[in-house]
Amino acid sequence: MSAQSLRELTERLGVDIDPETLRLALTHRSYAFEQGGIPTNERLEFLGDSVLQLVSTESLFYDNPQLPEGRLAKMRAAVVNTKALAQIARRTGIGQFLLLGKGEESTGGRDKDSILADTVEALIGSAYVSCGREAAFALVHRLIDDMLVQAVTLGAGMDYKTTLQEAAADLALGTVTYELTAAGPDHARVFTAVALLGEREWGSGAGSSKKGAEAQAAKAAVGAIRAQFPDYRRP
């Protein structure tokens, strides 16, 4: 990986991680194995996970003094999970910088949720090692603060299907169901879901799986509910 690429990534992250540590954070075990067993990013991932847990816990604790432990734990889980971290990685374009083995490269490793999420944690760990606690904490805030706000606003967090179930029950809007359709060849199937509360359509979404399409439809429906009931907030 070129020095220019490393500089580009540090600019995107907003933290000046030294090149050697940054490269290590991007080194997936598949690449390390093919290079004769060089170090991987897994130790940095371990450290970054702890930093991420602490920052998210601290933020939720101090910013939401009225909420009980159970709600705080759910909101943290909505942000500190593989799917949410992979979204952060895609938003930042981290996939293009990964050092992957040929096998992972050929099977779409640059867009796998697990690899992307692990790399986000490794990058947080690398910021801690290279730049210190304050810089690492600031990086975490830049990466997750918007998602923490959403988690608080939506109650059940980023699990929009659960959030939709809660809102439908709280507001007596009817039973949540999904209507699914599919189009395209088997290898590139696209599913479309419509979220219904009772008999009324509240949102639709598409995805490469039924679950993904339903999640997008639920997200749209939650947005529609928030627009129609601006004062609603789950107790």
Helix axes of 160-170 and 210-228: crossing angle, nearest 10 degrees: 40
CA distances from 150 to 146, 155, 211, 212 (A): 6, 8, 21, 19
The set of residues, in sequence order, having a beta carbon less than 8 Å from that of 50 and lying 6+ positions away, is none
Residues 163/169, Cβ–Cβ less than 8 Å: no
179 appears as a binding residue in the annotation: no
Return d(Cα 29, Cα 46) in angstroms, integer: 14
Q: Which residues are catalytic, by number?
A: 49, 121
Q: Is 118 annotated as a binding residue?
A: yes
| Dist CA 123 CA 49 (whole Å) | 10
Q: Which residues are annotated as a binding site for Mg(2+)?
A: 45, 118, 121
Q: Which residues are annotated as a binding site?
A: 45, 118, 121
